[in-house]
C-alpha cells in the first residue's frame, strides 16, 4: 500500500530526494505520492522532518 502525505507537509522536498523510485512530486501546497509508482519502502516516511508521511 502506498504512503500518503498529510497537510502537515512543510514542502521542504526531503522526501522527494529520498524516494528511490521517484514516486514523490510537488503538488498543490504540499508534496504528493504517486500510488502506482510507490513501492512502500518507507524511506520518505523516515526522512520527513514534519512526520507528515504515513501508510495509507
Q: pLDDT (tens digit, 9 = 90+) per residue, 33-56?
A: 999 999 999 999 999 999 999 998
* Angle of CA points 45, 16, 42, to nearest 5°: 25
Mean pLDDT of 15-24: 98
Model pTM greater than 0.85?
A: yes
The domains of the chain, with CATH numbers, are 3-55 (3.30.70.20)
Handedness of CA 19, 32, 48, 37 (dihedral sign): negative
Residues 6+ apart with CB under 8 A from 14: 47, 48, 49
Burial 9-47 (b: 16+ CB within 10 A, else e): beeeebbbebbeeebbeeeeeebbbeeeebeeeebbbee
pLDDT (0 to 100) of residue 27? 96
Amino acid at each position: 500500500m502506498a504512503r500518503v502525505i498529510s497537510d502537515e507537509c512543510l514542502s521542504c522536498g526531503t522526501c522527494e530526494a529520498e524516494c528511490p523510485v521517484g514516486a514523490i512530486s510537488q503538488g498543490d501546497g504540499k508534496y504528493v505520492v504517486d500510488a502506482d509508482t510507490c513501492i512502500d519502502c518507507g524511506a520518505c516516511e523516515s526522512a520527513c522532518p514534519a512526520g507528515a508521511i504515513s501508510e495509507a
